[in-house]
Amino acid sequence: MGMKDVKLLVSAGVGWMFDAMDVLLLSYILVAASQELGLTKGEIGLVILANNVGMLIGALLFGKLADIWGRKPVFMATLAIYSVGTGLTALAGSASDLSLLRLVTGLGLGGELPVAASSPSASPPASWPQARAWCRGIRAPALCLRAGP
């Protein structure tokens, strides 16, 4: 496994880590934010829905764009969208502001998932001819980069 493979695996892993962390933290932060912003349970549900819809749209949109423009530029764009959306979330003053910002953040989060998942599995070591099909079948990028004779 070369340095390029290590960088790819670390980048994808860090992206996944931040993605999972954001989804987890949203549930904790909404408890505090609901008191601060006076959100009802329905408004909290709207914020979560906006985040999830953003992730769905982002996955569909950026997954396709990664096939067209390449994984690296799209991965960087999704991280930028996610980062800006997360930063701007701190400025939300109402349920509608928070929902809109979580929709934008969700676009980046959802877009990052298919791009990060497909990058390592699309480049297994050349020394293992069946690796690509096997990796795509089980979706285990870390194993795919380490696999080989």
Mean pLDDT throughout 44-59?
94
Q: Where are the domains of the chain?
A: 3-117
Query: Minimal CA–CA distance to 113: which of 8, 20, 5, 9?
Result: 20
CA angle 108, 32, 15 (to 5 degrees): 25
pTM of the model: 0.76
CA angle 125, 131, 132 (to 5 degrees): 95
Please check the confidence at residue 90 and state whether its pLDDT lies above 60.
Answer: yes
Tens digit of pLDDT for each residue in 7-16?
777 777 777 7
